[in-house]
Chains A and B, each alone.
Chain A
Amino acid sequence: GAVVSQHPSRVICKSGTSVKIECRSLDFQATTMFWYRQFPKQSLMLMATSNEGSKATYEQGVEKDKFLINHASLTLSTLTVTSAHPEDSSFYICSARGLAGGLYEQYFGPGTRLTVT
């Protein structure tokens, strides 16, 4: 149980375009979802936290107009990278927390490798 999926697993887009990444909790209701980005050989940097039906809370330094997060339902959150630039290339990982695990655990998706050319 407690599986989180992400789609796509890898995406290549051209500079200036937008790309959407989906995160789904497959077998539990995710009351809170988190989006992280990870640079090579570095730790996870929390970008934003979203609760279902509410606006996302962004971490300091993360542009909310560039990284649009929508948590439309208890099983789906999306991250849209708008007007992507090469420096947005990274590994994006979503995570979900819900009633599974007694609210203590976060379950992580497999990640999405974004390459902006």
Chain B
Amino acid sequence: AQSVAQPEDQVNVAEGNPLTVKCTYSVSGNPYLFWYVQYPNRGLQFLLKYITGDNLVKGSYGFEAEFNKSQTSFHLKKPSALVSDSALYFCAVRALAGGATNKLIFGTGTLLAVQP
């Protein structure tokens, strides 16, 4: 069965420090991987995706993520956090095989809190 795990409910970081939000996945076949951000009472905004190619993917607002096939991980990173980055972050995977090819499977979300 396909699944996504975000092991941290919350990540706290000081403004200006680097941040990492962790994500691991389990799928049959090659995955499409995504990161979304959600602000309070809003829908999800797309940040970045990995489909194929370079393992390091750069996305919106200075975020990047590294696809690691051997560790089945897709951690979200940013070199220098801003207070405005504080939000709920979701990792998602779309399987290319195994019967669930049409669905995005979401992790449980990680609340990022950036302190000034």
Contacts and interface: CB of A to CB of B under 8 A. Distances in A.
Nearest to A36: B106
B36 A105 contact: no
Contact of A104 (B32, B36, B42, B102): B32
Contact of B43 (A32, A42, A43, A111): A111
Nearest to A44: B106
Contact of A93 (B43, B46, B51): B43
Interface residues of A, number: 22
A105 B48 CA distance: 10
Interface of A: 4, 6, 32, 34, 41-44, 46, 49, 91, 93, 95, 104-111, 113
Question: Can you list the 9 inter-chain pairs with the closest CB atoms, starting with the nearest?
Answer: A108-B44, A108-B43, A110-B43, A111-B43, A43-B108, A43-B106, A44-B106, A109-B43, A93-B43
Contacts of A4: 43
11 contacts: A34-B104, A42-B109, A43-B109, A44-B106, A49-B103, A104-B32, A104-B49, A104-B51, A104-B94, A111-B43, A113-B41
Contacts of A107: 46
Nearest to B107: A43
Interface string B86-116: 0000100010000000111011110000000
Interface of B: 32, 34, 36, 41-46, 49, 51, 90, 94, 102-104, 106-109
Contacts of B108: 42-43
B107 A110 contact: no
Nearest to B4: A43
Interface centre among B43, B44, B90, B107 (most CB of A within 10 A): B43
A111 B41 contact: yes
A104 B108 CA distance: 21
B90 A43 contact: yes
Contacts of B45: 108
- With most chain B CB atoms within 10 A of its CB, the pick from A32, A44, A105, A108 is A44
A44 B102 CA distance: 16
B68 to A, nearest CB: 20
A54 to B, nearest CB: 12
Contacts of B43: 4, 6, 93, 108-111
